[in-house]
Amino acid sequence: MVGIIDEAQLFYPLGTRIKIAENYGTVRYVGEVSGHMGTWLGIEWDDGLRGKHNGVVNGKRYFQTQMPTAGSFIRPGKVGPCATLEDAARERYLNYDSSNVDESLIREAQASLQASLFEVVGMDKIARKQSKFEQLSEVSVEKTPVNAAGYLQGLTQLTTLNVSHTLIWNWEIVASITQQLPSLTSLNLSSNRLVQPTVTQIAELQPSFRHLKRINLRNCGFSDWNDVMHTALLWPDILSLGLQENSFSQLAVVDRQSIFRQLQELDLHRTNIMDFDQVLKLGNLMTLRLLNLMENGIEEIKLPDCDPLAKLNIFVSLEQLNLLHNPIWNEADVFNELDKLPQLKRLNKTPHLKSNFYEMFSKAVASIGGLQFINKAEVTAEERRGAEYDIWKKYAMDWMQATHQGADALREFCRRHRTYASLVKKYGSPADFVPRAQAKQSNLIKVCIRHQKSGEIWDKKVPRMITVQTLQGLVMKRFGLSGTVPQLSYVDAKHPSLVVPLDNMAKTLDFYSVQEHDTVLVQ
């Protein structure tokens, strides 16, 4: 019996990954179980509901699991066969037929958020490329029982490798792969469970990862940021790191002398980081250009205070921030806070439940001085003028009151509306607008409607609450237009250099602050 146990322990060292049907697990115990004959493997399943216990059977603890029902015992004979990466790749790419093109590779390429990891070409072309094994530049063996490297030195052109959902279980195996592939730059290790490397292993293995630029560790079971930082010692100069769907909620300040020295892209999509104060701990990542915080439950964003005319000395290179699907409750405050970031140009965000994209777009553009894109929509010069002018008018009364109340009140106003001082410089003092806003308003306003192509002018009294869509209908009837619905914009009578598009057909003229004697342009 001892010999059988020793053989099982040799073949299944603790931490080994196994797969039965579609279920993945990690070996946590090898040996006898009281009351049962023979050798057993104690497994912690990735699916916390797959097992029956937490490693305790009949009052005796054999191993420990994170979830109370993630553990079970199986016989070694039930574990399926394993494969080397060489064998799995050859089987997938040399046994090619037209019905078995590697769709996982296509999906990964198309799902890439940033610079594409692959050249996505036609299916037939990919099939021809994949059939020439030694010339492959991209390989995916996703969901195969790979747990060793094999001989890979013939793959001299391989730049991108997907070994997600395999049975690779430690960094020594990973290093044995990467050291044979000197052209490899992108490595996907998603949905594997890797044993933490020791300090000695880090020193020995680090040279094997020097040529890597991108690593994806999505859903790799990290629950402690310290484990991430320890593992990152293996590849201190990585450019892009994916940590999506790992369940850590606390972050820590990074020692940039040791790790993330050149990190440009960090994906923290769907982790458990709900407190933006934790995110601020990464502010010393001086080279970080892109940060993905999608679906993290973040409700509020508050950055350190700084002078309204200054920027913070954190996230100094951050150009793109993804906040999609976070329940952020106060958009205006968030955009004002994000203006403190010195290089922010691209923002992804879901509109508040009581808002819509057009309102969010206008607030963001007016509040974040350098913003160029929001949700992939480019900010045009005309849209920026319209958004800034709306904010300039909206807070005119508040600015006037703060000006009269003294320096402290004005400083507080500028703290809450960081871009307003620059808008006053750009568009002048709103003092002449305030009395107009305070005056009792009639329900009807007289506007000058000008057809730009024909030059025809129509002076018309319209309700303040008329929608853009209704006005478009009146314009089409008056000027005899048919076919394409005309585009409307308006020119403020007090500031004729500003042209504001009336681009939301459901909104009213009052929403756009159209006033008496303003001009509506018909294009």
CB of 394 closer than 8 Å to CB of 368: no
pLDDT at 115 over 70: no
Q: What is the DSSP string of 473-517?
A: HHHHHHHT--SSPPPEEEE-SS-TT-EEE---TTSBTTTTT--TT
Residue, of 516 and 236, whose pLDDT is higher = 236
- Is 433 contained in some domain? no
Per-residue model confidence (pLDDT) at position 97: 46
- Is 439 contained in some domain? no
Report the C-alpha gap between 100 and 240 in whole angstroms: 31
Per-residue model confidence (pLDDT) at position 389: 85
Domain count, the chain: 3
User: Using one digit for the tens of pLDDT, what is the confidence trace for 358-407?
Assistant: 889 999 999 999 999 999 999 999 899 889 988 888 898 899 999 989 99
Compute the average pLDDT of residues 327-337: 93
When pLDDT is cut at 50, 70 and 90, the band that residue 342 belongs to is very high
Residue, of 171 and 78, whose pLDDT is higher = 171
Task: Calculate the CA dihedral of residues 152, 154, 158, 164 and round it to 10 degrees.
Answer: -20
Per-residue model confidence (pLDDT) at position 125: 55
Pair 13, 64 in one domain: yes
User: Using one digit for the tens of pLDDT, what is the confidence trace for 154-200?
Assistant: 899 999 999 999 999 999 999 999 999 999 999 999 999 999 999 99
Range of the domain at 70: 8-78
Pair 144, 239 in one domain: yes
Work out the percent of the chain whose per-residue pLDDT is above 70: 90
Pair 193, 272 in one domain: yes
Compute the average pLDDT of residues 354-358: 85
Pair 38, 88 in one domain: no
Pair 183, 286 in one domain: yes
pLDDT at 124 over 90: no
Pair 161, 283 in one domain: yes
User: Using one digit for the tens of pLDDT, what is the confidence trace for 242-293?
Assistant: 999 999 999 999 999 999 999 999 999 999 999 999 999 999 999 999 999 9
- Is 437 contained in some domain? no
Alpha helix (H) residue ranges in 53-102? 85-94
Distances (CA, A) of 107 to 140, 142, 162, 427: 11, 11, 11, 49
Per-residue model confidence (pLDDT) at position 98: 41
- Is 431 contained in some domain? no
Pair 68, 87 in one domain: no
Compute the average pLDDT of residues 24-44: 92
When pLDDT is cut at 50, 70 and 90, the band that residue 2 belongs to is very low
**Sequence-separated contacts (24+) of 374-378 with Cβ below 8 Å:** 374/346, 374/347, 374/348, 374/349, 375/324, 375/347, 375/348, 375/349, 376/348
Q: Residue 46's domain is classified under what CATH number?
A: 2.30.30.190
Q: Residue 500's domain is classified under what CATH number?
A: 3.10.20.90
- Range scoring the smallest mean pLDDT among 174-178, 321-325, 483-487: 483-487
pLDDT at 432 over 80: no
Pair 258, 366 in one domain: yes
Pair 87, 53 in one domain: no
- Is 226 contained in some domain? yes
CB of 334 closer than 8 Å to CB of 364: no
Per-residue model confidence (pLDDT) at position 515: 84
* Boundary of a domain, candidates 381, 406, 436: 381
- Is 237 contained in some domain? yes
Per-residue model confidence (pLDDT) at position 440: 58
When pLDDT is cut at 50, 70 and 90, the band that residue 127 belongs to is low
- Do strands 214-216 and 17-20 pair parallel, antiparallel, or not at all (unpaired)? unpaired
Pair 243, 270 in one domain: yes
Pair 153, 269 in one domain: yes
Q: Residue 181's domain is classified under what CATH number?
A: 3.80.10.10
Angle of helix 381-394 relative to helix 396-405, nearest 10 degrees, comes to: 50
When pLDDT is cut at 50, 70 and 90, the band that residue 481 belongs to is confident
Report the C-alpha gap between 429 and 423 in whole angstroms: 9
- Is 403 contained in some domain? no
* Boundary of a domain, candidates 381, 407, 427: 381
User: Using one digit for the tens of pLDDT, what is the confidence trace for 445-477?
Assistant: 999 999 988 889 999 999 989 999 999 999 898
- Range scoring the smallest mean pLDDT among 37-46, 102-111, 283-292: 102-111
Pair 39, 87 in one domain: no
Please give the model's pTM, rounded to 2 decimal places. 0.78
- Is 126 contained in some domain? no
* Boundary of a domain, candidates 78, 105, 122: 78
